[in-house]
Amino acid sequence: MNFFLNPEIPMPTRNIKLTISYDGGSYHGWQVQPDRITVQEVIENAILQITGEPSRLASAGRTDTGVHAIGQVASLKTNSTIPAERFRPAIQSQLPDDVVIRDSCEVPDDFHAGYAARWKLYRYLILNSEIPHPHLNRFTTRIAAKLDATKMNQAAQSLVGEHDFRSFESHYPNKATSVRHVKYCSVQQGTSWSAWQPSIEGNPILDNNLSIISLDIVANGFLYNMVRAITGTLLKIGSGDWPVDAAKRVLEAMDRKQAGPTAPPQGLYLMHVEYERDFDTVEFL
């Protein structure tokens, strides 16, 4: 919305930061698109209902179709007099259940959810199971073949640091530069999805522990499909199709054709966006 083009609309005087969670399964990504429902569109429509102002949200990341968020961040310019903390319940009252405003607060006028972001954490969840679990279909990617998470983690370490990641970028080039700084990259394996694992006083009822493999990656920015291409490459290594040093060779090749396939979207989550901390002293889980 360009306020300069309409003199009847006063310049916005406040800047509101929103922290947002959503199930991306029903949406064509974050960014507004013609004739397709997106997360940004439903939130902007909700804001219009409560403020009477057309608004355009600035976001920390443009998640793709089917990708989820736990800690997406957006900033909103407004003239509304609603107290900052009341934006959360007010907007929520106009939203579907699969989009949730977790927090709202006032920030300086020059804050921009995208430009001010220093680091972002994405997580990719893999259900490594021969047996499907219908409750997890929308929230993990199932791989039936046994994966070696230790080898995947070893390979992931070659991606840490500042590199040209064009080998992991779909439709290169999309940005002015494909150089990014990966602060942390780790693959871990767990044995349960505790939210619904049946138990009595902590003792499992069924002997069917899950194998959940998670990739956590922190970087100062991400290229188009970068995390999903990295995941596809690590899956090749975890399945034994490629050796551990393949990730390093793919990175150095600077050729998308050398990397693994783009992993499906439903296992990917934007977990957190950091605006101040440099992560030098943070111990990642």
What is the spatial distance between Cα 126 and Cα 163, in angstroms, rounded to a whole number?
Answer: 26
E strands within the chain? 14-22, 58-59, 68-78, 99-106, 119-127, 141-142, 161-164, 179-190, 199-200, 203-204, 212-219, 268-274
Rounded Cα distance between 225 and 259, Å, is 12
Percentage helix, strand, coil for the chain under 3-state DSSP, each rounded to 5: 25, 25, 45
Q: Is 64 a catalytic residue?
A: yes
199 vs 276: CA distance, rounded Å? 41
Q: What sign results for the dihedral spanned by CA atoms 108, 114, 118, 124?
A: positive
Closest residue by Cα to residue 15 from 130, 107, 85: 107
Exactly one of 23, 35, 64, 278 is catalytic; name it.
64
Residue 176's CB is within 10 A of a number of other CB atoms, namely: 6
Active site residues: 64
